[in-house]
A = this chain, B = another copy of it.
Amino acid sequence: MRELPAALEWSADNCTVGRALAIVGEKWTFVVLREIFMGVRRFDDLRVRTNIPRQVLTDRLSRLVEHGILRREPYRDPGSRVRYEYRPTDKGFDLFPVLQALREWGDRYLADPAGGPLTTVHRDCGAPVNLVLRCADGHEIDKMREVVGRPGPGALRR
């Protein structure tokens, strides 16, 4: 008998990665968030930048509002009816590290020879921003092989 992976002893039913993906794991959702974080917040601008079909974009924005990730803010251009732009809530801003991690990976493996099209910088000092994995004892972790999973406080047996 082989030794079973320890993960098989535990339930994945309350996995928070699975729950996060149920909300933001749909195609286009991160593309929408990418644009929102870049300051593109109006429906027509989002259409131009992303080429997402109108109905799909409407649906994804509604879903993000429904889950408290974006909020609608009214605005009115002269001579037009009131429209809405979409701004991230605190819960939405807290998704930024996911985008940053996707971009760092994309820049490493998928960029044009010139490099990635975007850099994120610290507003105060202008230096480039990166994600760092660090443990509570202060060790920085270079290789993912140095990280192991353990049952958390909400772990359930299968």
A contact residues vs B (CB 8 Å cutoff): 2, 4-8, 10-12, 14-21, 23-27, 30-31, 34-35, 37-41, 45, 48-50, 77, 88, 91, 93-125, 127-137, 139, 141, 143-156
- How far apart are the CA atoms of A150 and B6 in the complex, in Å? 44
A35, A118, A134 — most chain B CB neighbours (10 Å): A118
- How far apart are the CA atoms of A133 and B93 in the complex, in Å? 13
Q: How many copies of the chain does the oligomer comprise? A: 2
Contact A104:B97 (CB < 8 A) given known A40-B7, A40-B8, A131-B133:
yes
| Known A111-B154, A125-B139; further 13 A-B contacts with Cβ < 8 A | A8-B48, A16-B102, A16-B110, A17-B30, A97-B101, A100-B133, A107-B152, A120-B149, A120-B150, A123-B148, A125-B137, A127-B135, A131-B132
Query: In the complex, are the beta carbons of B154 and A112 less than 8 A apart?
Result: yes
- How far apart are the CA atoms of A25 and B88 in the complex, in Å? 21
Closest to A50 in B: B12
Which of B7, B18, B25, B116 contacts A16, CB < 8 Å? Answer: B116
What's the least CB distance linking A16 to chain B, in Å?
A: 3
Contact A111:B31 (CB < 8 A) given known A38-B149, A134-B130:
no
- How far apart are the CA atoms of A24 and B21 in the complex, in Å? 12
